[in-house]
Amino acid sequence: MTRLDRLTEKLQLNRFKLTSLLEMTKAINDNATVEELLSVYETIIREQLGISKLMLFNEQNNWDCLLSFGIQGEINLNPLELFSQYDGISVLESNSLLEQAGFDVLIPVYHQSQPLAFLIIGDIDEDEIKISPTIKHMNFIQTITNILAVAIENKRLAKENIIKERMNKELELAAEMQAMLVPEQFEVPHGMEVAAHYQPHQQVGGDYYDVIPLNNNEVIFCMADVSGKGVSAAFLMANFQANLHALVQYTDYSLSDMVEVLNNRVNQSTRGERFITLFIARVNFKQQSLRYINAGHNPPILMRNSDLFLLEKGCIGLGMLEDIPRVEEGNIRLKKTNTLLLYTDGLTELENPNKEAFGLERLGETMLQNRNVSMSELNDSIVEAMEQFRKSAPYFDDTALLSCRFSFS
């Protein structure tokens, strides 16, 4: 071969490589699918370069073989386990599985020290006396494989970002919905003082509290917590609030009747996939009585002077069973001054760096230490105690407080 022939061949080869790179780049810029990119890649490697045997492994959720040809039967292997020790183009060490399959060369693809892909090639025909396409075009194969692997990784990251963005928008919507469920101000009868505190977690939950005056002498108040988080939890709690208000405002149901109806409504909405814990109470100022049902919720604490009582009578959570087996209604005769604290499990289950829970005992002690302050000040003291307790530990759930004081002359 003359020097001119060699220069002509080299020029044609370089033109081919440039054309191939442009073809792959155009497919990427046109936002081709992974399948379309692999088709372009296979045409270049198999048909134009003459590679006869290939397996390309890429990590998506798992390490999968994205492309293979020239092999017989099925080859199952863990590429990360077999090839992670290689940091560059390598001749494969003796391996019974790969040796029998006829693979000779490994081309790993890394990005910031993390493996993106592993390409194994076998095309050497010992019966032919010529330079193997793998040896001849090694650097070009590595370059175009890198381009393909990075393009696929970028697609994966873009898809993850879209999913994250969608989730963030859903959480924003859920947060807005939940904010509407937790009122900041309350209409309460004379002799009742109410203050609330709500600390949302980064993931939206389903906490809800409310105070609903019935007339000059009676008020219903409640706190609820739906299992799970996110938009579905917020929608369920919004639906629950609407049902509760309808029952309170337009019917003369007893607390037990309300709980039975609400259980049916929750079952219809969730089909057994979620449940709601609820504490609901009705105070009659004329009779100085408090009737309540605790449906699987954290027991509120009633403080009278230096005595603390847990309000635990009730039933299982709403939506846990199609029919509630038994509903027990509590009935308390109120004294001259009574303080009642409702809360969700984000408070008592809050942990410090030593994995200790804040617990009921600390909550009760904080109430007793602040027995003479306003309800707003009581909430502030509880939040301060929580902050001092958790130190650097993160919040894991929403925290809701509803403090109520009933005073009688």
Q: Domain containing 213 — which CATH number?
A: 3.60.40.10
**Do 266 and 391 lie in a common domain?**
yes
How many whole angstroms separate alpha carbon 305 and alpha carbon 311? 16
Parent domain of 110: 3-160
Show the beta-strand stretches assigned E in 168-206: 192-199
Length of the chain: 409
Is the domain of 235 the same as that of 345? yes
**400 occurs within a structural domain:** yes
Do both 141 and 268 map to the same domain?
no
In-domain check, residue 250 = yes
Number of domains the chain contains:
2
Q: Is residue 174 part of a domain?
A: no
**Exposed, middle or buried, 384 (CB in 10 Å: 0-12/13-18/19+)?**
exposed
Strand partners, 223: 209, 279
Distances in Å between the Cα of 258 and the Cα atoms of 271, 313, 402 are: 19, 16, 21
Q: Which stretches of 87-230 are assigned E, i.e. beta strand?
A: 90-91, 105-111, 114-121, 192-199, 207-213, 218-226
Partners of 2 in beta bridges: none
Burial class (CB in 10 A: 0-12, 13-18, 19+), 235: middle
Q: Are residues 239 and 308 in the same domain?
A: yes
221 and 313 inside one domain: yes
149 and 203 within one domain? no
**Does residue 347 lie in a domain region?**
yes
pLDDT digits (tens, 9 = 90+) for 138-171: 888 888 888 888 888 888 888 888 888 877 777 6
Domain assignment present for residue 171? The answer is no
Helix (H, G, I), strand (E, B) or coil at 183: coil
* In-domain check, residue 296: yes
Same domain for 14 and 90, yes or no, is: yes
Give the number of C-alpha atoms closer than 13 A to the C-alpha of residue 209, restricted to the C-beta side: 24
Q: Are residues 382 and 344 in the same domain?
A: yes
The owner of tokens 């390309």 is: 56
Express each pLDDT in 358-401 by its tens digit: 999 999 999 999 999 999 999 999 999 999 999 888 777 778 89
For the entire predicted model, the pTM comes to 0.63
Residues 141 and 262 grouped into a single domain: no
Helix (H, G, I), strand (E, B) or coil at 370: coil
Residue 396 belongs to some domain of the structure: yes
Q: Is 288 left (phi over 0), alpha (psi -120 to 50) or beta?
A: left
Contact 335, 389 (CB under 8 A): no
Is residue 41 one of the residues assigned to a domain?
yes
Per-residue model confidence as pLDDT tens digits over 49-97: 888 889 999 887 788 888 989 887 777 788 888 888 888 888 876 655 6
